Amino acid sequence: MCGFAGIWLADPRARPEQVVLADMAGALVLRGPDDGSFHVGPGAGLAFRRLSIIDLAGGRQPFTVGGGAIAAVVNGEIYNWRELRAELEAAGTVFASDSDCEVIPHLYARHGPSFVERVAGMFAFAIVDRRGPVPKLLLGRDRLGIKPLFWADTPRGLVFASEPKALLASGFVPRTLRRTALLDYLVQGYVGGDEAAFATMRRLPPAHTLLLTHDAPPRLARYWDLPLDVLREEAAPEEILAELDLRVADHMVADVPLGAFLSGGVDSNAVVDSMARQSSSPVVACSVGFAEKSHDELDIARRSAARIGARHFAERLDPDPVQALEHLPWIFCEPHGDPSCLPTWLVSRMAREHVTVALSGDGGDETFAGYRRYVHDVAEHRMRRLVTPPGAALLGALGSVWPRSPRLPRYLRAGTFLQNVGGDPARAYWRSVTAMERGEALALLPEELAASLDGHDPFERFASFYRRPQGGDGLYRAQYADFHTYLPDQILAKVDRASMGVSLEVRVPLLDHRFVERFAPLPARAKVHAGRGKVAFREALRSRLPSEVLDGAKRGFDTPLARWFAGPLGAALDDALSTLPRSWFRPEALARIAGEHKARRRDHSRLLWSLLMLEHWRRRHGVGEGLGD
């Protein structure tokens, strides 16, 4: 696990300045604290920071092959590298190291850009190819978007890196927030898609490559996607367990201490249990708990660790949110409003004291439909099928005028349900994955800024994915959209930044693309039934995990925001709201939401946390008050 950066100059005869590459690499030192190195040649330069995982002595990058005509840097892990290496060696390839990532430049040399279709893993890469009369740069990212890659096309040339702050360090990219990113952040709680938070900066989408030459525009190409239809057949428990064990085994290869995150949930227990079945020594499991019982699963994790026979490290934490303001805005170099960033960072920091690599259960909820919102979505689809078009219109109209107040009893809070059943299924599901309505977000902005965003609606990108599957059911369309939006841009970005912020590699076997493409398209009845999600996975695990884990209530990895704003974060919040740029927000709108929250008329905890993190991100990265396109 590492970080890399590079420069592709507009003038192919010029040589990048190594001091600029060094500045870019310096911004990535937490991703790669063990080593740093460079490759500089005509037209292009690469910088690499290494966290040594496999072949500690010999796996230095950048790799060069073909007499130096091809240079490459790779961030991540390749899980089928042994098979690929054996194939290449049989064809006469000679390797210089035992690094899993060295297969990348050799595969490229033999197969060209299509090589990426043969690779299983989590990765981002950059390959400079100076063979022939026209040099090439190829950038690529793994199928699910586990590893990040950003780029910016500037007058001086194209710069690329594992994180935005490395691009900022080049001096090629302005420190300006993209105006559409502000609306995206307020509505979604994160910035996603092809466009990064910084104006002129872009994010390479998952499962894509970007090819650059000096004689043609950049060429973006998708090389993989999830199936666009639901499978007819279900999966037998034996198949699910066998595939689980195969993918966990792939993810356990390392030359450094390896362990796992363990909570009270199904997915982390499934992964740790599978590791224990395939390990000759006790698995290292790391868990954190919290003082609030509603957020705490530590007791279940302890019982699970004892049953599995794991070597368990556990801490019950009372986090200091003020300390988070010093670290998280630097680690998350785009604004990220999910409060679970803090506990994710804390459990990563604790795990790093014991291991260098940790396996996680992330992805099980997306693959097997484990979130509660999937259960609700299935119920709404069933109700929708029973309602005639005139009835749907009536329900939608009734839902739009239904009173909304957190003070109402739960049985009277039916407005959203009525609106969802009577409206567009895509927008109905969108409401379950967003932080606030677009209209509410625009009401916080100055009139001129809101008017300039009249043609931008974050929902449209989400809807384009939701509507792409041509067959199957509404549940799979929701999952498909999540796999292309919420998962890479919120969940995986959170895990990557929080873990790499403490130099910990986190692997996600439940997001191995071979696992996902087999089980995510299972029919709805195999995933949601009788008000429960993740049905097929739970039933497959009956022979391995206790009912306490499989049938317990799902708890979120969340934080007590309301208590913090009433205590240690109160002064910091007031300060942030007073200094957020007036070109971004209407001061009277911010004062209104703060007043409503303090008077307990409405709980704005999530929005206030997002605003607090936005302002501290702005300060930490020197972002100006102007907005860019």
pLDDT of residue 380: 86
pLDDT of residue 552: 83
Exposed e or buried b for every residue in 603-627, given b needs 16+ CB within 10 A?
Answer: ebbbbbbbbbbbbbbbebbebeeeb
Cα separations (Å) of 346 from 263, 305, 458?
14, 20, 31
pLDDT tops 50 at residue 96: yes
**pLDDT tens digits for 557-589?**
668 888 899 999 999 999 999 999 999 999 999
CB-CB contact of 260 with 358 (8 Å):
yes
pLDDT tops 60 at residue 539: yes
Q: Nearest CA to 173 among 192, 150, 206?
A: 150
pLDDT of residue 387: 64
Q: Residue 287: in which H helix or E strand, if any?
A: strand 284-290
Q: Which residues 6+ apart lie within 8 Å of 591 measured at CB?
A: 577
**pLDDT band with cut points at 50, 70 and 90 for residue 317:** confident
**pLDDT tens digits for 146-156?**
999 999 999 99
Q: Which residues 6+ apart lie within 8 Å of 289 measured at CB?
A: 296, 297, 298, 299, 301, 314, 315, 316, 317
Which of 271-285, 416-430, 441-455 bottoms out in mean pLDDT, i.e. has the lowest?
Answer: 416-430
Q: Which domains does the chain have, with CATH numbers?
A: 2-222 (3.60.20.10), 237-369+484-550 (3.40.50.620), 383-475 (no CATH), 561-628 (no CATH)
pLDDT of residue 416: 61
pLDDT of residue 470: 80
Section 70-93 average pLDDT: 97
Tokens of 395: 């329900």
Section 550-556 average pLDDT: 78
**pLDDT band with cut points at 50, 70 and 90 for residue 407:** very low
Q: What is the CA radius of gyration of the chain?
A: 24
Tokens of 571: 């002064």
pLDDT of residue 54: 80
Section 488-496 average pLDDT: 97
Beta bridge partners of 178: 628
C-alpha–C-alpha distance, residues 246 and 354, integer Å: 25
pLDDT tops 50 at residue 405: no
Section 74-79 average pLDDT: 96
* C-alpha dihedral (170, 175, 180, 183), degrees to nearest 10: 120
pLDDT of residue 411: 37
**pLDDT tens digits for 18-56?**
999 999 999 999 999 998 999 999 999 999 999 888 878
**pLDDT tens digits for 167-198?**
999 999 999 999 999 999 999 999 999 999 99
**3-class DSSP state of 118:** helix
Section 113-139 average pLDDT: 96
Q: Which positions are annotated as active-site residues?
A: 2
Q: Nearest CA to 183 among 430, 460, 493, 453?
A: 453
C-alpha–C-alpha distance, residues 538 and 527, integer Å: 9
> Pick the residue with more confidence: 129 or 382?
129
Cα separations (Å) of 623 from 194, 415, 618?
20, 39, 5
C-alpha–C-alpha distance, residues 295 and 313, integer Å: 18
pLDDT of residue 297: 82
Section 70-91 average pLDDT: 97
C-alpha–C-alpha distance, residues 52 and 32, integer Å: 8
CB-CB contact of 104 with 72 (8 Å):
yes
pLDDT of residue 107: 98
546 preceded by cis ω (within 30°)?
Answer: no
Section 377-382 average pLDDT: 86
C-alpha–C-alpha distance, residues 213 and 515, integer Å: 35
Q: Residue 561: in which H helix or E strand, if any?
A: helix 561-566
pLDDT tops 70 at residue 401: no
pLDDT of residue 556: 60
Query: In angstroms, how far is the first alpha carbon of the chain from the final one?
Result: 33
pLDDT, mean over the chain: 92
**pLDDT tens digits for 462-476?**
999 999 998 668 999
**pLDDT band with cut points at 50, 70 and 90 for residue 59:** confident
Section 334-360 average pLDDT: 95
Tokens of 501: 């912020």
> Could you tell me how many helices (H) and strands (E) the chain has, helices first?
28, 19
- Give me the phi and psi of 198, to 5 degrees please: -80, 135
pLDDT tops 50 at residue 418: yes
C-alpha–C-alpha distance, residues 355 and 261, integer Å: 11
pLDDT of residue 389: 62
Which of 66-75, 224-233, 283-292, 421-430 bottoms out in mean pLDDT, i.e. has the lowest?
Answer: 421-430
pLDDT of residue 421: 61
How do strand 258-261 and strand 357-359 relate by DSSP bridges? parallel
pLDDT tops 60 at residue 404: no
Q: Which residues 6+ apart lie within 8 Å of 451 measured at CB?
A: none
Q: Please tell me what DSSP assigns to residue 106.
A: H
C-alpha–C-alpha distance, residues 152 and 201, integer Å: 5
Section 223-243 average pLDDT: 94
C-alpha–C-alpha distance, residues 175 and 333, integer Å: 11
pLDDT of residue 455: 93
C-alpha–C-alpha distance, residues 362 and 492, integer Å: 8
> What's the predicted TM-score (pTM) here?
0.94
Percent of the chain's residues with pLDDT above 90: 82
C-alpha–C-alpha distance, residues 457 and 459, integer Å: 5
